[in-house]
Amino acid sequence: MLCVASESVRSRILAAGQRITPQRDLIAGVLEAAEAPLGAQELLDAVALRDAGIGRATVFRTLQSLQDAGVVQHVPLPGDQGGYLLCPTSGHHHHLVCQRCGRVEDLLEDEVALFVGAVARDHGFDIDHAGLELSGHCSGCR
């Protein structure tokens, strides 16, 4: 099998208390190799190319476990159903989404917290920023 997750991704899966199963390894590896987030169908196709024996239900169950481990995130993308990506950052964080090439960069919670905190103070508003994603054009596309 060609496409397997890197050592650093494997160790993050282990650190989250999960075992490295062949399915987790394959799906994490596919997402790690992708340049941009993969939609559900794109991911199913990419997995089927490498191992036709992994069914749809197994792919989604595996994705959920990788999301639970904080290794994979689902990002809403404008105009479609969003995509899955493997993030360098574990745990809660936000994203900068390029509208042209589809690349996604992690926006760390520390960066967001300053802004959200200032707005919350100024407006006396308790902000739920769980869905905060910023869209625009990346440095390569500007």
Applying CB under 5 A, which residues contact Zn ion?
Answer: 73, 87, 98, 100-101, 103, 106, 109, 112, 138, 141
Asked if residue 25 lies in contact with residue 4, where contact means CB atoms within 8 angstroms, the answer is yes
Measure the CA–CA gap between 130 and 105, rounded to whole angstroms.
17
Nearer to Zn ion, 35 or 49 (CB): 35
Nearer to Zn ion, 45 or 111 (CB): 111
Asked if residue 70 lies in contact with residue 86, where contact means CB atoms within 8 angstroms, the answer is no
Smallest distance from Zn ion to CB 61, Å:
21
Nearer to Zn ion, 49 or 127 (CB): 127
> If we measure between CA atoms, which residue out of 69, 76, 1, 79 comes closest to residue 37?
76
Smallest distance from Zn ion to CB 134, Å:
12
Smallest distance from Zn ion to CB 122, Å:
18
Q: How many CB atoms lie within 10 A of CB 109?
A: 15
